[in-house]
Amino acid sequence: MSAQQGAGLAAGVAPGHEAPAAECLNLYRFPALYDTLKAPDDEDISAVRGLMRRFVGDGPWSILDPACGPGNWLKPFAAEASRLAGNDNCLEMVEYTRANTGAYTVLGDMFELGFDEPFDVILEASGVSSLLPDMATLARWVRSFRPHLSSRGVVILLVNFEVPLPARLPATLWQTPWRPVPGGSARIRYELMGVEPALRTQHIRRTVETRGGNWPARIVESYDLRIWRPEDLRELQELPGFSLQACLDAARPENLHAAPAGERLLLFRPT
Ligand SMILES: C[S@@+](CC[C@H](N)C(=O)[O-])C[C@H]1O[C@@H](n2cnc3c(N)ncnc32)[C@H](O)[C@@H]1O
């Protein structure tokens, strides 16, 4: 039994809903760090809000993040939501989101959601889809949301499509300056260490450094991300039971059919 399973009931797991066996990545054990370092920017938030207004209708909206982390994508919509909910398989994230966003949170696997009432928006906008191994699993994940959608409900997911690789590896993909965190400061860096074209994966190293506060001085972890290809978008356009209505670049939100290259917000409506 994992630590999460052992502590599952204390986290408020819905009755009959088994806590998952997954182990959290180390950074996920420090939700306040992740929260500060990965807060979404205004451009991304307003792109998601624009999609919700256009495809769901006027707020307030009931919103669920199926892999909510520290609630980074729930908090921005707290004032516009009729109901906020989060699910995550990491106990620390579940507890943090509950305490900091007021969302109803559940410890559970994102493929086995345990909510009784449906949602207007199922939103995962930080790229959890890249943790999935293949298209069949991504399609199964989207289909699993169907019973949790209201009559006007939609699914909004951030999907990472391939872009040309940097000339040399390792290469820094993204980093923050030092940012204040409780008791001190922290920064985060993502590096692309290598690629596995046959598996369509990228090896990523994530480094968090902290100064002051009661944090580990460094959290370094490596993991693989699946990078999706343009032909994957075509498959998603034919997903049974759903219609793909938008492929959006947050920097150009007026174009609902952006090319599948880089980070894209996909919006699915059940048919
Ligand atoms: C990158 S964070 C994203 C958090 C959040 N969606 C956001 O936008 O801030 C990924 C989260 O997914 C959770 N996660 C990964 N696999 C999961 C699964 N199978 N079921 C539930 N949560 C999962 C992790 O514990 C982590 O908190």
Query: Does 49 share its domain with 126?
Result: yes
Q: What is the pLDDT of residue 43?
A: 98
> What's phi and psi for 182, nearest 5 deg?
-50, 120
Written as one string, the DSSP assignment of 150-185 is: EEEEEEEEEEEE--PPPSSSSEEEEE---EEETTEE
Q: Which residues line ligand 1 (CB under 6 A)?
A: 24, 28, 65, 67-69, 72-73, 88-90, 93, 109-110, 124-126, 128, 131
> Do 104 and 140 share a domain, yes or no?
yes
Q: Are 238 and 259 in contact (CB under 8 A)?
A: no
Q: Which residue, by CA, sits nearest to atom 2 of ligand 1?
A: 69
Assigned domain for 79 exists: yes
What would the pLDDT profile of 221-238 be if each residue is shown by its tens digit? Answer: 999 999 999 999 999 999
Per residue in 157-210, pLDDT tens?
999 999 999 999 999 999 999 999 999 999 999 999 999 988 899 999 999 999
Q: Residues 43-89: pLDDT tens digits?
A: 999 999 999 999 999 999 999 999 999 999 999 999 999 999 999 99
Predicted pLDDT of residue 161: 97
Distance CA 210, CA 217 (A): 5
Mean pLDDT of the chain: 91
- Distance CA(163)–CA(22), nearest Å, equals 30
Look at the chain and report how many structural domains it folds into.
2
Q: pLDDT > 70: what percent of the chain?
A: 91
Residue of 33, 34, 88 to mutate, ligand 1, most atoms within 8 A of C-beta: 88
Are residues 179 and 65 part of one domain?
no
Q: Are 242 and 271 in contact (CB under 8 A)?
A: yes
pLDDT band at 23 (very low <50, low <70, confident <90, very high): low
* Residue 95, domain extent: 37-162+228-270
Residues 93 and 106 occupy one common structural domain: yes
Please tell me which residue, 5 or 216, carries the higher pLDDT value: 216
- Residue 243 sits in a domain whose CATH number is 3.40.50.150
Task: Tell me, yes or no, whether 247 and 185 share the same domain.
Answer: no
Report pLDDT for 154.
98
Q: Are residues 145 and 62 in the same domain?
A: yes
